[in-house]
Structure 1
Amino acid sequence: MSAVPVLVVVGMLLPFAYVDRADAPEPSAEKIERSVSTYSLEGSVERVEPPKPTSAGVTLTIGSDVLFAYASAVVDESAQAAVAAQLDQIPAGAQVTVEGHTDSRGGDAVNLPLSAARAEAVAAVLRAHRPDLVLAVVGKASSEPAVSETDEQAMARNRRVELSWAG
């Protein structure tokens, strides 16, 4: 088969597969409403809370929404930088517990492995930047909420990774 017939066939298919935007019909308000899902993170996410003294030591909380995309345990470069910027607060050689937490949506079948994977992903960043730390990594899912889940803002506060060490 030569290249010319292939180009002719492709050229013949393009008018049927492509609609010029100028020729496209205007979508109805109903179609727009059904096709668009909007949300705002304005005020719903705590980026990084200052370390807080606890009865067992010190806890640093980083919102999961800062660290991860929805249903993901991949720490991107900006999230790695957010974690790395906090690491000078942890004493040299400290034993650090890295806990992943989720909101209650999805149930334990989804949230236990996700919270564990997220905690491990943050632990990997700690290992890369602070090999002196001794890490224990655990996923808690929604078993230890930071706040009662009364609305989306509260649910966002429960999605977090906590770093804890003796103070």
Structure 2
Amino acid sequence: MSDPDETRTITGWESASRLYRRPPGLGWLFALLVVPLLLGLLGWGTRDKSDPDASFSGVEPSLSAPAVDGPADAPGAGLPGLPAALSITRNSNDITLSGDLPNAAARTGLLDLLESIHGPDVNLVDNLHIAAGASGPDLTGLQGVFAAAVDIPDFGWTRNGDAVTLTGTAPDEQVRDQVEAAARSAWPNANLTNRIRVPGSAAPTPGGACAGLQADITALLNQPVTFETDGATLTSDSRQMLSRVAEEITACPEARISVDGYTDSSGSDAINVPLSANRARAVAEFLISQGVSSDLVTWNGHGSDNPIAGNDTPEGKAQNRRVEITVS
């Protein structure tokens, strides 16, 4: 409210208005306190939350929780830049690729790489799958390995988890060693198994009383290793059989053991490769539980690769569903 007041001037009477302000009430004080707070909250809510560096001021970066990509023992944890399951197998002019890749560009890059090494006449059998979350291939590492193996007509490269397996028949030991050196250079953290053979040279076996270990294991595995239906749980009969195998292995502490799992051709590689790997791992872990040193055992799954019988009959499929134990 304002009350008019009159003052006298030299020229006479003049009306002048004066305003008398009331002191601010509680409503004004509430507005002064709350409005800035609301504006601040609105600014916080609209900031770019995707910015990984955005943080409260005053919080030390060293106190932030580290990024976690997955469990440390997850398949492939030690091999960045490689799909968790990938198989590339050459049969003369045919190269078959199986496994998961993240996108079409990764598939094209891998196919182009193999064509550049083996020439435009190579027949690429593409059984690759596009899977969200899959890792892209390490083209540089694969180029070095396949360039070194260009003289191996049946060369095979398989990755499963942290295990990389090389197979094939090399013309001489120098080629075999060059391929292994290229693989170790590309993936120094891999659990690498070199099963490339050289004609005329026997596979290395432990000497002395253990020279016949492979034959002893083969004799003990007179029945296929079996599992519960559609799973990787060993049956009781197979556990008893593998217990005797473990006794032979532990008596030869220098022997290195490779466990390889295979399936028949039923189903896709996306199912068969992990299934065969899980079964090979189950056998390896059982042997370790029976006293075999974990440092001397490797395992790998190959899906339906390397069949030993036809997949066109139930009997042939039963033979292809197998686990092999190899001494080196």
TM tier, shorter chain? 0.5 to 0.7
Superimposed CA distance per residue, residues 60-104 of structure 1 (whole angstroms, 9 cap, x where no aligned partner)? 565996420221101233321121122334332311111011001
Q: For residues 222 and 284 of structure 2, what CA distance do their matches in structure 1 show?
A: 15
Does residue 79 (structure 1) correspond to residue 238 (structure 2)? The answer is yes
Q: Check conservation: 1:99, 1:137, Cα contact below 8 A.
A: yes
Q: For residues 112 and 161 of structure 1, what CA distance do their matches in structure 2 show?
A: 13
Superimposed CA distance per residue, residues 16-73 of structure 1 (whole angstroms, 9 cap, x where no aligned partner)? xxxxxxxxxxxxxxxxxxxxxxxxxxxxxxxxxxxxxx95354756599642022110
2:267 to 98, 102, 106: 106
Deviation at 1:139, TM superposition (A): 0.3
Q: What is the percentage of aligned positions where both structures have the same residue?
A: 31
Deviation at 1:121, TM superposition (A): 0.5
Does residue 142 (structure 1) correspond to residue 308 (structure 2)? The answer is no
Please name the residue that 1:127 is paired with: 288
Does residue 56 (structure 1) correspond to residue 203 (structure 2)? The answer is yes
- Which secondary structure does the structure 2 equivalent of 1:143 belong to? coil
Superimposed CA distance per residue, residues 135-165 of structure 1 (whole angstroms, 9 cap, x where no aligned partner)? 1110011111122223111110110111101
Q: Check conservation: 1:95, 1:135, Cα contact below 8 A.
A: yes
Q: Check conservation: 2:257, 2:297, Cα contact below 8 A.
A: yes
More helix by share: 1
- Which secondary structure does the structure 2 equivalent of 1:110 belong to? helix
TM-score (norm 1): 0.58
Amino acid at match of 1:109: A
Q: For residues 222 and 270 of structure 2, what CA distance do their matches in structure 1 show?
A: 21
Please name the residue that 2:322 is paired with: 160
Moved more, 81-90 or 147-156: 81-90
Rate the CA distance shift 1:63–1:140 in 2: closer, same or farther, 3 A: farther
Q: For residues 67 and 76 of structure 1, what CA distance do their matches in structure 2 show?
A: 6
- The structure with the largest alpha-carbon Rg is 2
Q: Structure 1: give runs of 5+ residues left out of the alignment.
A: 1-53
Moved more, 107-116 or 72-81: 72-81
Moved more, 118-127 or 81-90: 81-90
Q: For residues 70 and 140 of structure 1, what CA distance do their matches in structure 2 show?
A: 19
TM-score (norm 2): 0.31
Kindly indicate whether structure 1 or structure 2 has the higher relative contact order, using CA contacts under 8 Å at least 6 residues apart.
1
- Which secondary structure does the structure 2 equivalent of 1:67 belong to? coil
Please name the residue that 1:116 is paired with: 277
Q: Check conservation: 1:93, 1:132, Cα contact below 8 A.
A: no
Q: For residues 227 and 238 of structure 2, what CA distance do their matches in structure 1 show?
A: 8
Q: Check conservation: 2:228, 2:235, Cα contact below 8 A.
A: no
Runs of 4+ in 1 over 6 A off after TM superposition: none
Q: Check conservation: 1:99, 1:163, Cα contact below 8 A.
A: yes
Q: For residues 64 and 161 of structure 1, what CA distance do their matches in structure 2 show?
A: 11
More strand by share: 2
Please name the residue that 1:88 is paired with: 247
